[in-house]
A and B are shown apart, each in its own frame.
Chain A
Amino acid sequence: DAKTTQPNSMESNEEEPVHLPCNHSTISGTDYIHWYRQLPSQGPEYVIHGLTSNVNNRMASLAIAEDRKSSTLILHRATLRDAAVYYCILRGLMEYGNKLVFGAGTILRVKS
């Protein structure tokens, strides 16, 4: 069963904020929410991760719902270089052997 659910694709205009949603209704108490992105012909790149509180870094912000069943990756000002596949992944400490298992992700297209 898929552990996270993301829209297949989203589109954004350059210089505008982007909100990428992720549903993870079966999240366990020790699962961290990780986001990675993959540009064409490259390996995945770490974006951000969190457990319960919202997180900010130089790349993005992560907003986590109070019940932790969903989260949103926020790119504050999308650029053409942000066009990529974005993966929302739960990383468990116990049940899933601490492996990163990738789902289908969201293809983000950025229009100039």
Chain B
Amino acid sequence: GAVVSQHPSWVICKSGTSVKIECRSLDFQATTMFWYRQFPKQSLMLMATSNEGSKATYEQGVEKDKFLINHASLTLSTLTVTSAHPEDSSFYICSARDFRDRGNQPQHFGDGTRLSIL
């Protein structure tokens, strides 16, 4: 089945560091990718929608200068958490939609990245 690879699986870094998370669709092309954030014991919260070759669309309340999204190819989107602080510690999950999807197909998810800022 369709696979979405997310890297790294976990990262620990100091406050003020910028962290990049990669999301790759391995066996399909994804014109649209989504980035979610999940805090402990809470549901997934959609942060932004990433479209290949254009600017990402951010959900209300998400700082676009804080969370930089790049979707330069049909198989890769990246999320960069700039100048990360402890409150940015969370589980980040990406999702990809097959370019052939016309709105009634499953969406594929990565295994998530556990980000811990000290």
Which chain A residues have a beta carbon within 8 Å of chain B's beta carbons? 32, 34, 36, 38, 41-46, 49, 51, 85, 87, 91, 93, 97-105
Contacts and interface: CB of A to CB of B under 8 A. Distances in A.
B106 A46 contact: yes
Tell me if A's interface is mostly helix, strand, loop or mixed. loop
A102 B38 CA distance: 11
A98 B93 contact: no
A49 B114 contact: no
What are the 5 tightest A-B residue pairs by CB atom distance, in nearest-first order?
A43-B109, A46-B106, A102-B44, A93-B103, A102-B43
A56 B44 CA distance: 26
B88 interface: no
B47 to A, nearest CB: 11
Interface in B41-75: 43-46, 49
B34 A100 contact: yes
Interface of B: 4, 6, 34, 36, 43-46, 49, 91, 93-95, 103-104, 106-112, 114
Contacts of B94: 43
B107 A100 contact: yes
Contact of A44 (B103, B104, B109, B114): B109
A45 B43 CA distance: 14
B72 to A, nearest CB: 22
A109 B49 CA distance: 32
Contacts of A99: 34, 46, 49
A36 B109 CA distance: 10
B37 to A, nearest CB: 11
Contacts of B43: 85, 87, 102-105
